[in-house]
Structure 1
Amino acid sequence: MQTIAQLIFAIILVVGIVGGITINNYIKLLRENQGKIQSLQGKVGEREQRIAELEKRIAVLERIVTDSRYELDQQFNELDKTG
């Protein structure tokens, strides 16, 4: 009877130690991942700002190209009429 109690105690002790180590490692991983997530969120924010800036530049360039193309079309039409 005493050996069964000792065996049960040993099993509980081993499970407790393994569980404690597992929980400790899990908490370490959570902290590491949270730091990585915050770093990546910062990078995403920077890239979103950069994309917004580039979209503004693209809009300006599209206006320039459209205006230039319209002017060229008018000039070609005038040349066709005179030529």
Structure 2
Amino acid sequence: MPNRPAGDHLEGLRARVAAGGEHGLTPAEHEELQRLLDRAGRDGARDDPGLAESLEEAALRFEARHPSVSAALRTVGVNLANLGI
């Protein structure tokens, strides 16, 4: 999976967030993830210096209750960093 393009990881995380209730996400968690995904997926993401830090902070918050979401956030962050975002 590490060789998948960053966009694939982002879309996979979007699918998880869209099915938030199925993954036990609260409405507040769902909203937070949606905001992060919107930031990561927009054209100006390269000009968002706090994006990588925001993704890592969210990964830490989600780690205990939603380990798969946390891992996906980290993967997206790493992939975006590798692309210079």
Q: Do they superpose with TM above 0.5?
A: no
TM-score, scaled to structure 2: 0.24
Q: For the pair shown, which has the larger CA radius of gyration, 1 or 2?
A: 1
Structure whose residues are more often helix by fraction? 1
